[in-house]
Each structure stands twice: as C-alpha cells, then as structure tokens.
Structure 1
C-alpha cells in the first residue's frame, strides 16, 4: 500500500498525542496571550529587567511572543494529527483489501 508509513497502533497513538497537544498548547497560548500572572516564570525574562523601567509593555510583548509560539506548536500538532488520521485510514483500506 503506497504511503503507508506506520501501523494502526502507532497511528492511534499519534491521534491521541496530537489531540492532547492541541488542547494543552491552545490553552497555554490563550493564557499567555491574556498575560496570566501565574505563567510569569515561563516568560524568558531576567529578574533585573522586570523592574528596569517600570514599563509592563516589554513583559506583555514577551507574553505575546510565547503565546504565539504556543499557537504555532498547536498548529504543528494539528498537522501531525491529520497525518495520523490519514495513516489510520490507509491501514483500514489495507485491512479491507486483505480480507
């Protein structure tokens, strides 16, 4: 069967992992975009630069960049999930042709 790369169990695992990745990263992207204070430790900033000029716009821009990166990673997981669904479909076709 042309295009078949992985078996049915690996394809199912890919679907589960990609579903979880999309949910988790989309939620993280939303929380970073809304500047959640709980996620301040995950923003790439040093302690000295937080209190440097008192302007929160620089921190908010870092929050937005991290949130944007989370949305990009979620989109990559969507592509991986679509690939896994195609592999699952090809495995079903192969099983149908054999019987």
Structure 2
C-alpha cells in the first residue's frame, strides 16, 4: 500500500475537527428531517403542485422530508470518509516526525 503525505499536521487536525462537526450536525439534521420536524419545513423543497395537486398531501411532503434526511445522512457519511483521511494524514505526519528526529 502506497502512503502519500498530502497535507501537514495542522491541516489534518483542522480536517478532523471540521469533519467531526459536519458528521454531528448532518446526522442531527438527518434525524430531524426523517422525523418530519415542523421547524424545518422551509428547508423542504415543496412546490405548489406537491400541495394542491396531490390527493394525499401529507404523504408527499413526508416523502420530501425523508429524501432531504437521507441526503443529510449521505453527506454525513462523506464527512466520515474525510475524517478518516485526515486521521491517516495525522498518522503519516507523526511517523514522518518520528523518522526525522
């Protein structure tokens, strides 16, 4: 396996912090969207057709809530990957410091 050092220790630490915050925030948003929180209705892409032309309006809006919630969970998963990448970079930086000294 080829190990490539792409970023320094400070950037890797920053990536870990930001990724951790992104995972927490997006996971919480995903939970709130999938539980159909009324506070987040402005962030659901509802059109007039979804409200007026649908025979079962709440069901269509709940589907949109779930769709946005799943997108939040996918984004949180991507942040997990970035956190893992940042952790690998931190480890490589520590190994490099150990070898240099």
**2:81 aligned residue:** 79
SS at match of 2:12: helix
1:84 Cα offset (Å): 0.0
Q: Name the counterpart of 2:47.
A: 46
Q: Which runs of 5+ in 1 are unaligned?
A: none
SS at match of 1:3: coil
Q: Distance in 1 between matches of 2:33 and 2:66?
A: 6
Match for residue 64 of structure 1 among 60, 63, 66: 66
The whole-number CA distance in structure 2 between the counterparts of 1:64 and 1:49 is 15
Cα distance in 2 between the residues matched to 1:15 and 1:69: 21
Deviation at residue 52 of structure 1 after TM alignment: 3.8
What stretches of structure 2 of length at least 5 have no aligned partner? none
TM-score by length of 1: 0.93
Aligned to 2:30: 29
In the superposition, the TM-score normalised over structure 2's length comes to 0.91
Equivalence for 1:89:
91
